[in-house]
Structure 1
Amino acid sequence: VFLWPKLRALGAYPVNLIHDEIVVECRASVAEEMSGILKDCMVKGMEFYLKKVPVVVEVKTGCSWAEK
């Protein structure tokens, strides 16, 4: 809910959502900004449900899903 308007604003698109993982396709020029937005939105979204559990999110960027 928090993420979708921000994705659209940067011309980014979700390409895969699996359990606790979101894969986003975006231009390389906005990848760093998108990483920060993605992390913030994932933490904010999970903290809504997990009020007493620390929420930790790790974000990775690469040219393909295989890059780590």
Structure 2
Amino acid sequence: MAHQSLGFEGIESAEQINRITTALMLIDGVESVEVGRYGAEVEGRVRRDTLVEVVEALDLPINVT
């Protein structure tokens, strides 16, 4: 199983973390997700650019790296 890491800047609330967690878990191929204020660790067969696109589509006031 592949491991991907994302970095976040600007997360300010648990609601934002919950929205990101839910969005990432709904992606086909994702097995597990751990999201915190500064990033996410994702296990599964999914491309990193797909993860970034999904988080950016939430239109949160954060930067994804």
Fold similarity call, TM over 0.5: no
More relative contact order in 1 or in 2 (CA 8 Å, sep 6+)? Answer: 2
Structure that is richer in strand per residue: 2
Structure that is richer in helix per residue: 1
TM-score of the two chains, using structure 2 as the length reference: 0.42
TM-score of the two chains, using structure 1 as the length reference: 0.41
Higher Rg? 1
